[in-house]
Structure 1
Amino acid sequence: MRLYWRSAGSGIPVVLLHAFPFSSAMWLSQREGLAPVCRVITPDLRGFGGTPLGDARPSIDVMADDVAHLLDQEGIDRAVVGGLSMGGYVTMAFCRRHPDRLLGVILADTKAGADDEQAKANRERIAQAVLEKGSDVLLDQLPSLVGVTTQQRRGMVLGRVRGLIKVAPPKAVAWAQRAMANRRDSFDTLRGLRVPALVIVGDEDRLSPLAEAEAMAEAIPEAKLAVIEQAGHLSAVERPEEFNRLVADFVRSLG
């Protein structure tokens, strides 16, 4: 699968993988803010934005291999690879399947454990609902995607997130839900990482709370944990300047 992607800047390549159910459009502030520090590459994962869905079975591993193919196409041997939420799941699969392609890892507002049976059933329920009724049904999840501070004080951010949800393609949404439901536990992968990692979490994140971030940081041999205050699950969208500062400092530390 050839991924559609946007990039900005030059220097160390930093691949940022978007959350569900968004596209690389969510990384606008990162492309603008990080361009002076590194080469920011933001792909649309399979089925989202400008990338077709294809006919592969739903799999986070397939999405990770898509990212490796993108690096091949761009002649990039190694890169910093990171993601937020679903993008974090893809990043961990990339770490497992393509460890030799890594300069560093960024895991934001995500978790390393696999879904339990209840979570899997809920993902299938959402997949079927979206296929039947469209992506507007995902708007019910909006309060859990952003923090309380954003809900109360950042109306423009809230409106932007709502707009990004509404344009999510239903078939891609269902495919991604089933891919996430089938993903494996990644703690062994994290324990085996041989590159530096940055773990980021919003202090108001209810979907992937601080305890999940702490568990990942503890598992990784060389990890830094950073908490962004007054941000929920979409910390990069809710507080982009702070997110960018953390990523910029991490990239500089890699030399």
Structure 2
Amino acid sequence: MTTPLLLLPGIMNDGRVWMPVRGAFVQTDRPLVVARTDLHDHVTAIAAAAISLMPEGPFAVAGFSLGGYVSLEVCRQAADRIAGLALIDTGARSDTPESSGNRRQMIEALDSGNSTYAEVAGSFPPKLLHPAHVEDAALVGLLADMARAVGRDGFKRQQTAAMNRPDNRAVLRGVRAPALVLCGADDKVTPPELSDEMAGLLPGGVERVAVATAGHMSTLEQPAAVTTALARWLQRVDAATGSSGTR
């Protein structure tokens, strides 16, 4: 069979953040797991739970945003099993003091009742989307529905996990498997320079992709471009592991 694939969503996302591009992954013989990132408040626990869902042996992992932070922890915990790594709109550094402060403020506002979860979630789309997409009612509605599915407590756990994540640049230097580093060219949440840094730290076999007319939500804003890049990456992963559709 082809290489199993683990997909990890971001903050206020469920598996639907991968929905438009799953055609690049879903083959009749490719084991595919979309793990949740809202059930634990630390990347170590999220990663361990995700790894436990995978079949034995090598697997590839793709993480979006918070899922990228978790993907690097997956690489730390299961280094000898990683057949491929795709990092989408994410970074390898620990949280900045400014970002941690913003996360704490949101959590405190929810706990104090000064803000509702709907209000907090509703403030995100303008920050996440390219200006060309902020009026896309279907896309904004999907973001809102995924946020509702994650829920207030899941959101708080995700923000806590992001806030306390370690610096994973050293992990990147040890990844020898085929890699993809991709982000929206206009991503304001995890800017392109973070992707440039990650690509530069990976020791080899990495493709760096900047997706035009996309902000942070590249998988939903430009699914065709992301699908094409992920399909190329999976071909490299399968070639490196000797996988084929008939194995």
1:36-84 alpha-carbon deviations (Å, 9 max, x no partner): 484432122243xxxxx5xxxx21111111111111xxx3311110111
Q: Measure the CA separation in 1 of the matches of 2:230 and 2:32.
A: 11
Q: Report the TM-score when normalising by structure 2.
A: 0.88
* 1:129 positional shift: 2.4
Matching residue within 190, 199, 209 for 2:191: 209
1:5-20 to structure 2, matched below 5 A, reads 11-20=2-11
Matched letter for residue 110 of structure 2 = V
Moved over 3 A (4+): 36-40, 130-134
Q: Measure the CA separation in 2 of the matches of 1:39 and 1:244.
A: 18
Structure 1 match to 2:220: 237
Contact 2:91 2:195 in 1 (8 A): yes
Higher relative contact order (CA 8 A, sep 6+): 2
Deviates more, 1:186-195 or 1:155-164: 155-164
Matched letter for residue 183 of structure 1 = R
Does 2:89 correspond to 1:109?
yes
1:50-69 to structure 2, matched below 5 A, reads 58-69=41-52
Q: Measure the CA separation in 1 of the matches of 2:124 and 2:48.
A: 29
Does 2:173 correspond to 1:174?
no
Q: Measure the CA separation in 1 of the matches of 2:83 and 2:149.
A: 33
Structure 2 match to 1:50: none
Q: Measure the CA separation in 2 of the matches of 1:227 and 1:68.
A: 28
* 1:33 positional shift: 4.3
CA RMSD across the alignment: 1.8
- SS of the equivalent of 2:5 reads strand
Deviates more, 1:115-124 or 1:170-179: 115-124
Aligned residues: 233
Matched letter for residue 125 of structure 1 = Q
Structure 1 match to 2:243: none
Q: Measure the CA separation in 2 of the matches of 1:253 and 1:178.
A: 35
* 1:224 positional shift: 1.2
Q: Measure the CA separation in 2 of the matches of 1:83 and 1:174.
A: 19
In structure 2, stretches of 5+ residues that fail to align are 240-247
Q: Measure the CA separation in 2 of the matches of 1:172 and 1:196.
A: 32
Q: Measure the CA separation in 1 of the matches of 2:99 and 2:140.
A: 25
| Identity between Structure 1 and Structure 2 (%) | 24
Matching residue within 31, 36, 41 for 1:44: 36
